[in-house]
Amino acid sequence: QLQLRDSFGSKFGVIAAAAGSAVGLGNIWKFPYIAGIYGGAAFLFVYLAFIVAIGLPVMLSELIIGRGSRRNAFGAFKVLAPGTPWRYIGILGVSAAFLILSFYGVVAGWSVQYIVLSLENGFSNKTPDEISSLFATLIGSPIKPVLLQLFFMLLTGAIVIIGIKKGIEKYTKILMPVLVVILIFLCIKAVSLEGAKAGLLFLFKPDFSKLTGDGILSALGHAFFTLSLGMGTLITYGSYIKNDNNLVNTVINVTVADTVIAILAGVAIFPAVFAFGIEPSEGPGLIFVTLPNVFHQMPGGYIFSILFFVLLSVAALTSAISILEVVVAYFKEEFNMGRKASTVLATILISILGILCSLSMGVLSPYTFLGLNIFDLMDWISANLLLPIGGLFIALFVGWFLGRKKVKEEVAKGGSLSGIFLSAFLFLVKFIAPIAIAIVMLNKVGLLRF
């Protein structure tokens, strides 16, 4: 019964791993494309409001649950609230992990494809139209994207199998800072393009009349997705954090890093979108059709392009690792499996679902549910449904079930949260976060209008 649990080695390692989880395709691929669909700046502001009012407190809640129980996302609730139905939140989380990683691996596979294309100098001498059909052809083909997705899943599984300290922690520490530097270079180039101003206005000058119920729900869903919240990733990572770690610091660092990188991605992309006459509502292909245009216009573009897609793939990898770890820790602790067996099983199951997602961009595209192909369906259900619902219950659990004394105790282990901040935090998790999430979701299904 008593097994020695793995843990993170250093404090910096904790932040690197949690930030590695947060910063990923969500920031660089997904944020610009959904902001583009939902009108730019208005979406950005609602998203930022959700990050502060809901993201921050839910992230702290997950770390408290994880470290306070030292269990996986399902087992954590069994330890903290034995014999209660709270543990089903964990099942919701593990399911979300399956759905998210299945389409996440596909996009990561595209990113790997773009490393190869960059190496082959495959974007030079191409018009924006040609670059955009290049993307469509690639993702629609039946074999290559599937193989690359499987390759990516294999890599993810290989690191997770090694374990926390030697696998996850080691690799994330080095690579994140390099990504930020590249992104800053891209921003500088993008902003100096002719016609850049329209892109910046689109991103920063809000027109709230453009905001729809769908846009608000997507902003909420994306706040969860981008911070890796609502499905137990940070419960799981929290369970590996040592007691002398300052949870509040970790939360703030990770949130700021994630938000800054999303905004940088927006600044790198929207000026180029407008400069090259690409539709901001282009969808999942937005960065893959926009950035190659930027690369082949900038000095050193060949190198930048390779580096960028390598780092995007790495950012995707550190996030994918954290998603897989949710399922692995669950199999391992709840079914008494070894780390190896649970990693192999989880990787195989998710990859199968992933193949369907990949094929839904091509041969399986006629099969849709609620008007969405399999890929979009996995994305929609997880981000807009499972994560916010998971987050709602996580907030309620910490606010109402654990309560002030337990929260204070856990936070005080490696840091402090003075009275007023503690009260503010509890107010957010007891009332603001759950009510806001409920309103946004009810509004979406038409039960409530505002």
Q: Which residues contact Na ion (rule: CB under 5 A)? A: 22, 26-27, 226, 258
Give the shortest CB-226-to-Na ion separation in angstroms.
3
Calpha distance 348→161 (Å, rounded): 13
Show contacts with ligand PHE in window 93-112 (CB under 6 A): 100
Residue with the shortest CB distance to ligand PHE: 26
Give the shortest CB-143-to-ligand PHE separation in angstroms.
26
Q: How many residues bind ligand PHE (CB under 6 A)?
A: 15
Show contacts with ligand PHE in window 186-225 (CB under 6 A): 225
323 interacts with, out of ligand PHE, Na ion, none, CB within 5 to 8 A per kind: ligand PHE
Is residue 21 part of the contact set for ligand PHE (CB under 6 A)? yes
Give the shortest CB-31-to-ligand PHE separation in angstroms.
8
Is residue 319 part of the contact set for ligand PHE (CB under 6 A)? yes
220 interacts with, out of Na ion, ligand PHE, none, CB within 5 to 8 A per kind: none
Is residue 149 part of the contact set for ligand PHE (CB under 6 A)? no
Give the shortest CB-72-to-ligand PHE separation in angstroms.
14
Give the shortest CB-96-to-ligand PHE separation in angstroms.
7
Residue 213, number of CB atoms within 10 A of its CB: 17
33 interacts with, out of ligand PHE, Na ion, none, CB within 5 to 8 A per kind: none
Give the shortest CB-25-to-Na ion separation in angstroms.
8
Binding site for ligand PHE (CB under 6 A): 21-22, 24-27, 100, 225-226, 228, 231, 233, 319, 322-323
